[in-house]
């Protein structure tokens, strides 16, 4: 196919980038420039996403310089600038991400969320809360992503009171959708602070069936605080969702050991061993003389196989 316009080139670049072929995507971008075509905002955004996942940061920085040379950052749409912010945030270069953010003439909620998410993932929770306060001052209403970033920052920073404030604001905000991820953050906050009964009550009263993440989070908190009763409830709930969850067995075993409940710990260990023994082992097959022989990987071959390869 003869690629003639920017849209076609951008489609090719996007296809490579979405399939993890970042080097091929950047090669397509370079080839497009050699054809004398000028990239549009979608081209920039797509190529930046390819640069984001490359171990070598030079192509991304070089592309940023090209963007600045071709058109001022202020003239780019929010989609392209957000990709630039996300690239620097992914690398942990938050000063660069912040600088790009500050050059924007108009900032939409997606750009705010990209920068806030970047700071949260880098563990810079103070910067997260500063941006949230700034959003409020500038009259930018948060959405469910913003609230999730705030609650995640509170959870990782063990800031229970602040987390409660954001969670209550979320519940009162009729313009946002509350998800199980928001509740899981609160379960983590309550559990880490030692409020295990409150965390359990939240799981039982929230408008969603608790998922595996919720129960594992609670079980981990029970191990931290040595709560056998609630830990057992969480463990049983986990097994109903995934009876082969190895880390749940280890956590419950440790809870019993820490409580000097040796018989119970032994039962958990037996359960775990039985579970692992009962797992379906991979099967394979081989065809010899028109017959298909099926065997379990790791088993010894039957005696009839001894001479099958002999001439």
Of the candidates 53, 63, 6, the one whose C-alpha atom is nearest the C-alpha of residue 73 is 63
Of the candidates 96, 158, 151, 150, the one whose C-alpha atom is nearest the C-alpha of residue 127 is 150
Q: Helix axis angle, 212-225 relative to 228-241, nearest 10°? A: 160
H or E stretch including 273? helix 262-278
Q: Is the dihedral of CA 156, 162, 163, 169 positive or negative?
A: negative
Q: Answer yes or no: are the C-beta atoms of 149 and 134 closer than 8 Å.
A: no
Structure letter (DSSP) for residue 207 = S
Percent helix, strand, coil in the chain, to 5, is 70, 5, 25
Q: Burial of 194 by CB count in 10 Å (0-12 exposed, 13-18 middle, 19+ buried)?
A: middle
Using DSSP's 3-state secondary structure scheme, residue 296 falls into strand
Domains, the chain, with CATH or none: 180-279 (1.25.40.10), 283-311 (no CATH)
Q: Is the dihedral of CA 82, 83, 86, 87 positive or negative?
A: negative
Q: Answer yes or no: are the C-beta atoms of 135 and 112 closer than 8 Å.
A: yes
- DSSP for 24-59? HHHHHHHHHHHTTPPP-HHHHHHHHHHHHT-S--HH
Q: Distances in Å between the alpha carbon of 65 and those of 100, 168, 275? A: 12, 43, 56
Structure tokens at 109: 């909620």
> In a structure prediction context, what are the per-residue pLDDT tens digits for the chain, which is 311 residues long?
455 789 999 999 999 999 989 999 999 999 999 999 989 889 999 999 999 999 899 999 999 998 888 765 557 788 889 999 999 999 999 999 999 999 888 889 999 999 999 999 999 999 999 999 999 999 999 999 999 999 999 998 899 999 999 999 999 999 899 999 999 999 999 999 999 999 999 999 999 999 999 999 999 999 999 999 999 999 999 999 999 999 999 999 999 999 999 999 999 999 999 988 776 555 555 554 555 545 444 455 444 444 443 44
How far apart CA 47 and CA 22 sit, in angstroms, is: 8
Structure letter (DSSP) for residue 293 = E
How far apart CA 93 and CA 101 sit, in angstroms, is: 13
Place of tokens 């009259």: 139
pTM: 0.78
Place of tokens 């001022």: 72
């Amino acid at each position: 196919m003869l690629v003639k316009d920017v849209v076609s080139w951008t489609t090719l670049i996007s296809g490579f980038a979405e399939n993890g072929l970042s080097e091929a995507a950047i090669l397509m971008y370079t080839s497009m420039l050699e054809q004398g075509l000028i990239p549009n905002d979608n081209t920039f955004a797509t190529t930046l996403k390819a640069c984001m996942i490359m171990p070598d940061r030079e192509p991304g920085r070089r592309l940023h310089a090209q963007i600045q040379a071709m058109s001022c950052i202020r003239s780019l749409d929010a989609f392209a600038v957000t990709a630039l912010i996300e690239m620097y945030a992914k690398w942990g270069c938050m000063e660069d991400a912040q600088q790009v953010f500050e050059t924007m003439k108009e900032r939409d909620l997606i750009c705010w969320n990209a920068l806030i998410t970047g700071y949260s993932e880098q563990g810079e929770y103070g910067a997260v809360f500063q941006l949230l306060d700034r959003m409020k001052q500038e009259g930018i209403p948060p959405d469910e992503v913003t609230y999730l970033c705030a609650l995640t920052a509170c959870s990782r920073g063990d800031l229970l009171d602040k987390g409660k404030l954001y969670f209550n604001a979320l519940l009162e905000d009729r313009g946002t959708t509350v998800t199980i991820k928001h509740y899981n953050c609160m379960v983590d906050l309550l559990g880490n602070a030692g409020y295990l009964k409150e965390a359990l009550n939240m799981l039982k009263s929230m408008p969603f069936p608790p998922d595996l993440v919720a129960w594992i989070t609670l079980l981990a908190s029970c191990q931290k605080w040595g709560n056998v009763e609630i830990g057992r409830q969480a463990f049983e709930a986990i097994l109903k969702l995934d009876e082969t969850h190895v880390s749940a067995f280890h956590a419950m075993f440790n809870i019993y050991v820490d409580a000097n409940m040796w018989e119970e710990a032994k039962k958990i260990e037996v359960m775990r061993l039985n579970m692992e023994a009962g797992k379906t082992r991979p099967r394979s097959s081989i065809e010899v003389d028109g017959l298909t022989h099926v065997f379990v990987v790791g088993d010894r071959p039957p005696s009839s196989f001894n001479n099958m390869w002999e001439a």
